[in-house]
Amino acid sequence: MAILLAFPLLLSALSAQTLKVKQRSGNQTAYILSNIQKMTFQDGNVNIQEKDNTTVVHALDGLRHLNFFESTTTIDRVLKQENNANMVIYPNPFTDILNVDLRGSNDTEGSITIFCLNGRVLLTQKNNGSGPVALNLSHLPNGVFFCRYTSSTVNKSIKIIKK
């Protein structure tokens, strides 16, 4: 039995622009959805056929996850940016106040977003680069979240824990 996803029909319902395939080995592949003609799940594989008729086959038992993202930034670019981004978060774990310090970064004007594990945005705050930002997160329940800093050149996420 094969499941076929016809991307031109689904694009109107999806807000995502990128599909990321992450393998258990840690390797990642990103696909821009507008370049995908079809995606099928068959015989324990996911087959991704691009509009240039190239087909890439991923074994499902070798995958950690498939994710859809709104960003069109390639995975290689994100990893490169994350390695060059200087974002210090303290204390971590935190109780009510989380400090985000971007002073060592070249691009400090952007936004800080706190989101939960399922991707729901809980807080977004603009940053003008004037030093550390103290975020009052007392309204959040105890648990694991992510803090993401995004600017024109940086996209970095760090896992945070509220205790």
Confidence band (pLDDT; 50, 70, 90) for 74?
A: very low
- The residues spanned by each domain of the chain are 19-79, 83-162
Single-letter code of the amino acid located at 156 = K
3-state secondary structure of 130: coil
- Name the pTM for this structure: 0.49
Q: Say how far residue 24 (Cα) sits from the centre of its chain.
A: 17
- At the top level of CATH, which class does the domain 83-162 belong to? mainly beta
Q: What is the pLDDT of residue 109?
A: 76
Model confidence over 81-99: pLDDT tens digits? 444 457 788 999 999 999 9
Single-letter code of the amino acid located at 81 = Q
Q: What is the mean pLDDT of residues 65-92?
A: 60
Q: What is the pLDDT of residue 150?
A: 83
